Structure 1
């Protein structure tokens, strides 16, 4: 048999093994036991396995090269290197996965590189870089970068960066960056940066910066910065900075706003050039500097402004006009008003 005929026979054998089939597992296994070379849908192999699209894969330890993602419902595990020309995936992957797109049905542990997208149905642990986006149904642990976006159904622990946005249904612990926005359904602990905004349904502990604003459902402790505003359903504790306004039930620490601020209770120092307001029945303990200090509750400390009004003064008002309604006399005074 001539060498040309031998080559044609080998090519025909390779093509037949690689062609997808809806039937039973097929393929050619050149191996001792499970160690060697597998061509086609060989279920188990330790070595190099080449296939068009996996349906009956059980386990590969070594290198698994495919042309397309597995069939729906396919169950298989890759330990080592999974290569997609252009797509690859498995039920679970431990090691390195490289392809235009990588799809893992359950868990991924290792390094994933995909110019298009990377996705896992459950947990992702390790490093994942995708040109378009990264998605996971469970938790993300490690370093994850999506050129456009990153989304996860569970928690994020580590570094998560989305060129446009990043978000998750659970907590974020570490560094989270969204070119436009970053949002988490739970707590944020660490550093959170959103080009336009940062939002969390729970608490924020650490540094949160939103180009336009930061919104927190459960309160924030640390440094919170909003280009326009910062709003919270709970306490803002630490340093809070906003270009226009700050609002929260309780402010503790240093609060600086470009225009105004409001709270039910404030402890510390508040600087708001236009106005500062304490809601009815609330209290201020500390210092407020604003053109208009409107304290609808108890003031313990100092207010400095053009107009200072308080329902119950236990401290000092300094301004053009100062009003303290709880004083028995001299309730309205210019320049300085005082009551113990």
Structure 2
């Protein structure tokens, strides 16, 4: 379906990934993982064409339809909810317009028999394609998806302008599900979902016949809807069979090995640096010092996995406080007539 060929991208002078090759096949259900800032969202944008790589190509099979859900900043205006959602039925809408055009043309008295026969055959092709797309149940499918994602029936005629940011993202999610894509690229699709709509989405994606490439911090979600894990680490992409839990088992073993390699490398680097400092100004050791300097320049540093590097933070000693640090008296909070709490008295004392 989609071939990533020698893809490279750098940011701020550092490669996020370099020379990446990977093929997404029909039916693949992939979770894309990696530390923050490794380029997960950027890779999705490269596949959609929204972002151009510095090197390499994205090759797609002909007629492959891709749906993309960004992480945020999606706004829909000027239409009712049901009309906005239905606008995702692009293929069906185009075919229905073509059907109308052909039907009107067939009413012309000036057509020759051959022209009429060609139009009838073309109309048959259009009807066949509409049947393949299950166009007659499209309206019901649109409503089913909107309801599944938490919209109420009485909101269908509500203008999209009136929906908040989180609901705007649900509209965007609904549209890529409605449009019958072959590949869904989703960046944190569960961020704005409640429990009921999340469970509905999990069930929907389990039955989805196309391919998925998902970035999500929701481990339970990706465990249930994916069967392969793609990891961006140290500028490279590695693929693992199995869901997120299976990947974590491998990662734990890999990380222990990397930490050991890192410690050995740091020890060797320090020994080399100590040798250079010790004999830097000794003429008889000049060649050896120069050789060690070149060795250091050629070292490819072992990159530690996220969370392995230790951080030491020293906080200044705070001045002594009074006995009572925080005191609340008769605190009340309400949203309109809905009282959340009332008459709260509370103290936080030193220690």
TM-score tier after normalising by the smaller chain length: under 0.3
TM-score, normalised to structure 1, is 0.23
Which has the larger helix fraction?
2
Q: Higher RCO, 1 or 2 (CA under 8 Å, sep at least 6)? A: 2
Computing the radius of gyration from Cα coordinates, the structure with the larger value is 1
Which has the larger strand fraction?
1
